[in-house]
Structure 1
Amino acid sequence: MYRASRPIVVLVLVLVLAGCAGRAMVALVPGALGIGQSETVLVASTRVFEDGDWGTERLEGLSFVSFDVNIPPDREPGQVEPVRDRRTPDPATNFLVTRAEALDGASTFRAALQRELATRPSDQREVMVFVHGFNNTFADGLYRTAQIRHDFQIPGVAVHYAWPSAGNALGYAYDRDSALFARDGLETLLREITASGSNRIVLVAHSLGSSVTMEALRQLRIAGRDDVLNRISGVILMSPDLDVDLFRSQAMRIDPLPQPFVIFTSQRDRALRISAAITGQRSRLGNIGTVDDVADLNVTLIDISEFRGGARDGLNHFAAATSPAMIQLLQQVAAVDISLQRDATQNLGILPGTVLTVRNATQIFLQPLTQP
């Protein structure tokens, strides 16, 4: 047997076992309203809706839905415990939907977004768009959007872009193709948000969702849509599953990149090790150890290798959003209001850790407030 194949087989088995638990599902429980805290999430999706749920098949065009998501009171920061059996939802511990409303087309979506923005103070009329990553169901992305908005206390309106992941640990090839399929939908969504009158847009992408995000930004630049790009007041890539050379090519075509442009990386990210092994590389953008490969780009790398993901993040692939220590740190350090401050790249330097500047890029090796 080819010796080098054994570590890859072991890693794939780990990934499969990590995905064997019952998958998250959207559970509508109107009676749960008031038990926890409610977050409104608007969703634009390129998933086909059939048999009462959003599946894995690809939808040409966009569908829009508005949800109220119940954030249960009995949980740790970063933890998302979804319903895995609709017969036994527990509002005290499970993320649930208390309201779901289909929005009939883009104009209805814009109207719903405008209503949500109007409830905010004039200086908080921004939109956070979350783009999920590999191996996500529709519910995974919906609940994670609500969790990020809630735990990081991000002002403004939460919007989730749900692209057609297979929601299967063995569906990596399907998801990589879907990420390319989904770029047009995200571009359209960003145009609709701009048309709604939002002051600013913050893009938060995880894993393979970073590929969707970079491609959409690239397309907007090629199309000359500076009106949209100028509304983007920050891009945050969490554990981006991206080829470094591809990222560089995308970034140079988008140039100038929206600012701040922040990339969370980790040497403990086992999922990205698997992705790198599959593609025959040493690393992906989300686990590069040095800033040198992107030093000519105006980006900030935040190395969170000292942080461990939450209880259900066995591969340490989402520590930026699931680590209670990370959430505690970002809540306490007001300078990391990345989503709202154009000078956040400079302000990030006051975080606990080591700061390294190489040419145009900055790398921060972040340290927990208390060592794990």
Structure 2
Amino acid sequence: MINAFHILFCRCLAVIFLCMLASCAAPPPTTMAPRPVVTPWTTVDVFYGTNRKATGEVGPNHVFGTQLGDLRYGVCQVTIPATHAPGEIERPEWYKFEFSEDPVKHVTIRTLRHLSRDEFATVFSVARQEMNTEDILIFIHGFSNTFDESVRRTGQLCYDLGFPGIAMTYSWPSQGAFSVANYYRDEDYVRQSIPYLKQFLLDVVRNADGARINIIAHSMGNRLMTRTIAEIEKEAPQAVFNQIILAAPDVDAKVFKENIFPRMAGKARHFTLYASSEDKALMASRVLHDQSRLGESGEFLTIVPGLDTIDSTGVDPSTLGHSYYSSTRTLLNDIHDLVIESVPPEKRYLRHVPGRPAAYWQMVFDSDE
């Protein structure tokens, strides 16, 4: 009797002991939701056309050089850091001990993919479908720009504008360095690049299937753009663009007014000119050519029926005062309202100036910008 009771007692103790062990054991593993991966940069796909000659190098920053070549197509992926400041193209700085690109800190070209003409049309069409967009923005750079600079600028510009569509750039063979000799060579290559840009634009028009195609050209790039649009007028009267923006154009004002713009009229729904009397680069060009430039304001301001002229004097505090279209919040905001919202000038943050003998617009800006 005692043995039976002892055995039962021991078994009870064993059960209690096992329960205590179970309560001290680690809980069964639970399924945790994966943490979202936060990438410290944003990517912008930039399609490109270029008539620069390939260098044979692999890296995206040096694929195309400064010599005249055949028309090439492709697409790049540009990274914009989370710390990006509007209007800036963050690059490695030696005084910060930065000697290589870092997408966490800098605007970089992450990938570059060459495409045939047919592949360009296919990839472009797929991108439009995936983005569900009817908007395209083409940027054409000016004097002293390299291929990689034009790609990064396009990525920065579209990112800062909040542009909801396809980003593109056309890069002609500028020498990418300041000198009088390079300026004259760039002028020559602009003239030789007209048929290449014309083919590129006609390809985009054909593949866009009625989408809204906007063009922003800067500085000397306006010589290429305006003459090309004039040529398209002869060969493809159906090619109508949406917004065409002439930013600080290094173009002969008299020639533009009398010979070029009459051939461009009707090729876009809207034309806008941004000019400034503080643009030192255009002052130098005026002296060099002995003729006022289209991008100058003040006594040289150009007003043409069918073209909205906006005096941007005072917006750009930089030394040259030549890149205000993409580096100041005021201009970025105005271009956003123009291109993305289709807001007419009388409803934007502009001051109407009557007279001279026709009316024009003046930028209203924050002096602390």
TM above 0.5: yes
Flag structure 1 segments of 5+ consecutive residues without an equivalent. 1-32
The residue that corresponds to 1:242 in the other structure is 251
CA shift, 1:291, in A, is: 8.3
More deviation, 70-79/200-209: 70-79
Measured in 2, the distance between the counterparts of 1:277 and 1:291 equals 13
Aligned 8 A contact 1:351 1:366 in 2:
no
Pair 1:37 & 2:48 matched: no
- 1:366/1:251 CA distance change after superposition, 3 Å: same
Give the gaps of 5 or more residues in structure 2: 1-37, 58-62
- CA shift digits 1:331-355 (9 cap, x unpaired): 8xx7x233563xx4xx211333421
TM superposition shift of 1:356: 2.7
Sequence identity percentage: 22
Tell me if structure 2 keeps the 8 A contact 1:179–1:212: yes
Could you tell me whether the CA contact under 8 Å between 1:38 and 1:68 is conserved in 2? yes
Matched position secondary structure for 1:148: helix
| Equivalent residues in 2 for 1:103-182, closer than 5 Å | 103=115, 105-121=116-132, 124-170=133-179, 171-182=182-193
Q: 1:55 to 1:181 in 2, by over 3 A?
A: same
Any conservation in 2 of the 1:234–1:339 contact (CA below 8 Å)?
no
Query: Aligned with 2:268: secondary structure?
Result: coil
Q: Deviations over 1:239-296 (max 9, x none)?
A: 0000011212111123335221001111111111111111123x3110132687433x
Quick one: distance in 2 between partners of 1:74 and 1:159?
24
Q: Which has the larger radius of gyration?
A: 2
Q: TM-score scaled to structure 1, two decimals?
A: 0.80
The structure whose RCO (Cα within 8 Å, separation 6+) is larger is 1
- Residue of 301, 308, 331 corresponding to 1:326: 331
Match of 2:294 among 285, 301, 322: 285
Secondary structure of the 2:339 match is coil
- Structure 2 partner of 1:194: 205
CA spacing shift, 1:303–1:70, aligned 2, 3 Å: same
Name the counterpart of 2:231: 219
1:100: Cα distance to partner? 1.6
For residue 334 of structure 2, what is the amino acid of its counterpart? L
Letter in 2 for 1:337: L
- Which amino acid in 1 is paired with 2:214? V
Distance across 2 between alignment mates of 1:358 and 1:109: 47
Cα distance, 1:37 vs structure 2: 0.7
C-alpha displacement at 1:156, in angstroms? 1.0
Residues 117-175 of structure 1 deviation map (CA, whole Å, 9 limit, x = unaligned)? 11223xx3221111000000111111111111010112210111010001111110011
User: Aligned partners of 2:349, 2:366: CA distance in 1, in Å?
Assistant: 7
Aligned-residue CA RMSD in angstroms?
Answer: 2.4
Q: Which amino acid aligns with 2:40?
A: I
Is the contact made by 1:291 and 1:363 (CA closer than 8 Å) also made in structure 2?
Answer: no
**Does the 8 A contact of 1:68 with 1:97 survive in 2?**
yes
1:97 maps onto 2:109 in alignment: yes
Q: TM-score with structure 2 length normalisation?
A: 0.80
Counterpart CA distance in 2 for 1:83 and 1:69 is 15
